[in-house]
Amino acid sequence: MSICSIQFLLFTGLALLVYYLLPARLGKAQPYVLLAASLAFFLSLSPKAVCWLLLAALASFGFALLIERRPRRRKCWLVLDVLFVLGLLAALKYHTFFTDLLFGGAPSRLELLCARYLLLPIGVSFYSLAALGYVIDVYREKYKAERNFFRFLLFLVYFPHILQGPIARYDKFSPQLEQMHGFDWDGFNSGLRRMLWGYIKKMVIADRAAVFVGGVYAHAAAAGGTELFIASLLYTVQIYADFSGCVDIMCGISELFGIGLAPNFEQPYLSRSLGDFWRRWHISLSSWFRDYLYIPLGGNRRGRVRRYLNVLIVFLVSGFWHGAGWNFIVWGAIHGVWQILEELFYRNGLGRKPGEVSGRLAWLQTLVTFLVVNFAWIFFSNDSLRTGLKIVRNILLRPSLWVLGNGGLFSFGLKAPEMFLLVFFIALLIAVDVLNSRGIRGRDILARQPLPVRWLLLLLGVLAVFVFGVYGQSYNASSFIYMQF
């Protein structure tokens, strides 16, 4: 069941009906409705994946209880859980990478066996981190271990965050299950508006950009530098619109159930440095790495060299977490190295720090950061390091501006009207982000408009998704990029 399908909307509607029509005396059953809906959703995506999810859940639930009840061996339980969950993740996600590394060439028997039984289960990267975070927090005595397995399972499998996050924290999520959620009209409206904006980002912007990006990258070796550069820019837009669109849809749905999820994006492409970028992009992931990897490694408490090393380790791990390939590791390395360079640059007084400047210089910092992020995405978006390098080489060595005037840009799957439409919606996306960065929320502006204007805009939004969205048979609508991680 795709998130961008009528079936999914009907499924959500049905879950909402059951959720809110439960009599007050059964209010405590609301989490079970959510659990049933989440499991049904997960089953519809991949029945096999439920087994792996249950294994991870049982292990983390059990080890957390053991940490509390058998405190003398608490470290041992923690290590066992970390090994188990990471082992599961490695087996499911990285078996190809490791078998390639070990055996190379033609697929070995082990690789074939793995391919048969260990298909990458959807959401594994997200629920693994959530489960690990929970056990580590219990170990750190941040909160008590959960006694009810089903509530813990819901924390992992809750369908609005299982696919692409945000990676939930148990102490933020669990208290919201304590109370009975009555139907709140305003919250409901707000959730619907957020969903609509998410669908516009995903189906109108990301999937349309994907047509062009796919068209150009499919012929990366032969394509000219200008097309490749535009494709790289559009991929940068695509991945943001895709990922944040999905998060908006899912956070909107969660709002419909009265459950808030942590924000995952804060206008990342307006960042003025890479450090700033990672405080605004996939916030739940970067804060997870900060709390459970960077700080345990020593953070910035053990001197400058060690700090740089820690940054590098975190970003290499982050790259590897995103995908089992050298291109992802290089992507992580670019982010890590650039952050170290940034810090050296400012520390040695070669420039003014982002917080200290405004105006044109601030925009220049934003532009430089954007270009570095864009450069790194080139490796991220292609299936191998070699392809990424070819694209970079062609961008630098084979630029041709003729393609801008001779209609050549329209031969990669998007006709002229579609390209103009894409540009229009990208401009809208930028405008909304700029407004948000100044504390003006589009949703609030909309809420202040008279009813007819509000409705007209919302209905036009719905129409835009249905007419301008990329879906169905005419195009191969892309699945969400981040679902594979």
Q: Which chain residues interact with another protein by CB under 8 A?
A: 5-6, 185, 415, 417-418, 455, 458-459, 462-463, 466-475
Cα 61 to Cα 132, 137, 171, 290, 302: the distances in Å are 10, 12, 15, 23, 34
CB of 256 to another protein, least distance (A): 13
CB of 189 to another protein, least distance (A): 9
Closest CB to another protein among residues 4, 177: 4
Cα 138 to Cα 56, 68, 78, 148, 175: the distances in Å are 16, 8, 9, 15, 16
CB of 234 to another protein, least distance (A): 18
Closest CB to another protein among residues 424, 466: 466
CB of 1 to another protein, least distance (A): 12
| Catalytic annotation present for 322 | yes
71, 81, 192, 166: which is closest to 458 by C-alpha?
192
**Residue type at 164?**
Q
CB of 422 to another protein, least distance (A): 12
Return the half-sphere exposure (C-beta side, CA atoms, 13 A cut-off) of residue 378: 27
Q: Cβ contacts of residue 229 below 8 Å, gap of 6+?
A: 395, 399
Which pair of structure tokens corresponds to residue 259? 């459950």
Distance CA 253, CA 251 (A): 5
Q: Cβ contacts of residue 328 below 8 Å, gap of 6+?
A: 319, 320, 322, 379, 380
Which pair of structure tokens corresponds to residue 219? 């012929």
CB of 466 to another protein, least distance (A): 6
- End-to-end Cα, the chain, rounded Å: 18
Distance CA 473, CA 147 (A): 47
CB of 204 to another protein, least distance (A): 11
Distance CA 347, CA 34 (A): 50
Distance CA 169, CA 138 (A): 12
Which pair of structure tokens corresponds to residue 172? 């933020």
DSSP result, 421-483: HHHHHHHHHHHHHHHHHTT--HHHHHHHS-HHHHHHHHHHHHHHHHHHS--STTTTPPPPGGG
Closest CB to another protein among residues 358, 474: 474
Which pair of structure tokens corresponds to residue 427? 């401009």
Distance CA 291, CA 300 (A): 13
**Residue type at 14?**
L
Closest CB to another protein among residues 132, 426: 426
Catalytic residue from among 181, 282, 322, 335: 322
Distance CA 324, CA 327 (A): 9
- Angle subtended at Cα 338 by Cα 127 and Cα 286, rounded to the nearest 5 degrees: 20
Q: Cβ contacts of residue 65 below 8 Å, gap of 6+?
A: 145, 147
CB of 28 to another protein, least distance (A): 26
CB of 475 to another protein, least distance (A): 7
Which residues are tagged catalytic?
Answer: 322
